[in-house]
């Protein structure tokens, strides 16, 4: 995905391209010859700009909503892992094994899952540990009501952990459909072209208009691209929730 350097380069290239297009258009079609077309161009720009602004805003809102949902899902997965670690205290038969697996799970997520997701790969290490956790808890033979309660809660938390892990993997592979990117790109190009075609009496004001519109559209589209893949690129969800879980479990060991 895009790094901070990539974002800066894209902004520079896009701004330069739009300003060069404006200069070239002014040479081919002088501004004074476009004054008579301002009513038509202004009407087109008004409709196109409003439609595109709504589209941009909706896409940005959707992307940020998905990003925050993925972040919350990670927090809930890490919280379920810590709960399993604590509930193991009420299961003396398998306490050492279950707590060892929870620590291994946190280590695998931090050291393997996050680097794999950053490269667009599906992680496998945590899946194997998750399977062993199921086998370990299901193999318990409870000897008291308190152990029965602890086992029931541990199974519930393990089910929650598994659910959020699967959701995390799905969120790591989610992509904004290509047709949406086509709408964003075509709309951005048409909007900048319409602004460039406007016959302003002041070259400085016209340049500022083209510059500001292009900058705003580019920044919003880069924001959408950055949050579109929540576990990759410059803007991504960190593994802090599992790092904190690591510290909690190792400190209480």
| Separation between Cα atoms, residue 18 and residue 103, nearest integer Å | 53
Distance, CA of 128 to CA of 52 (rounded, Å)? 46
Distance separating alpha carbons of residues 155 and 88, to the nearest angstrom: 11
> How far, in Å, CA of 200 to CA of 194, rounded?
12
pTM: 0.87
Rounded to 5°, the CA angle 21-26-31 comes to 135
What confidence score (pLDDT) does residue 85 get?
A: 95
Mean pLDDT of the chain: 90
pLDDT in tens, 1-28: 688 899 999 999 999 999 999 889 888 8
pLDDT at 81: 97
How many percent of the chain have pLDDT more than 90?
66
What is the per-residue pLDDT across 64-98, written as a single tens digit (0 to 9) for each? Answer: 999 999 999 999 999 999 999 999 999 988 899 99
Question: Any idea where the domains of the chain sit in the sequence?
Answer: 4-251
Which range has the worst mean pLDDT, 29-38, 100-109, 236-245?
29-38
249 falls in which pLDDT band (50, 70, 90)? confident
Residue 36, pLDDT score: 67
């Amino acid at each position: 995905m895009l790094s901070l350097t990539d974002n800066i380069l894209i902004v520079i290239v896009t701004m330069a391209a739009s300003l060069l297009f404006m200069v070239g258009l002014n040479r081919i079609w002088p501004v004074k010859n476009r004054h008579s077309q301002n009513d038509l161009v202004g009407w087109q720009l008004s409709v196109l700009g409003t439609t595109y602004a709504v589209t941009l805003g909706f896409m940005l809102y959707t992307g940020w909503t998905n990003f925050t949902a993925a972040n919350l899902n990670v927090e809930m997965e890490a919280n379920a892992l810590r709960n399993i670690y604590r509930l193991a205290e009420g299961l003396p038969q398998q306490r050492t094994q279950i707590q060892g697996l929870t620590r291994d799970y946190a280590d695998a997520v931090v050291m393997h899952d996050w680097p794999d997701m950053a490269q667009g790969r599906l992680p496998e290490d945590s899946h194997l540990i998750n399977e062993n956790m199921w086998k370990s808890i299901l193999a318990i033979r409870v000897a008291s009501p308190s152990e029965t309660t602890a086992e029931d809660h541990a199974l519930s938390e393990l089910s929650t952990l598994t659910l959020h892990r699967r959701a995390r993997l799905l969120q790591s592979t989610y992509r904004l459909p290509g047709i949406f990117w086509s709408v964003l790109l075509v709309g951005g190009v048409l909007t900048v072209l319409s602004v460039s075609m406007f016959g302003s009496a002041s070259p400085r004001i016209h340049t500022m208009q083209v510059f500001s519109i292009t900058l705003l559209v580019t920044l919003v589209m880069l924001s959408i691209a950055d949050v579109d893949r929540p576990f990759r690129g410059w803007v991504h969800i960190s593994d802090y929730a599992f790092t904190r879980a690591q510290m909690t479990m190792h400190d209480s060991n």
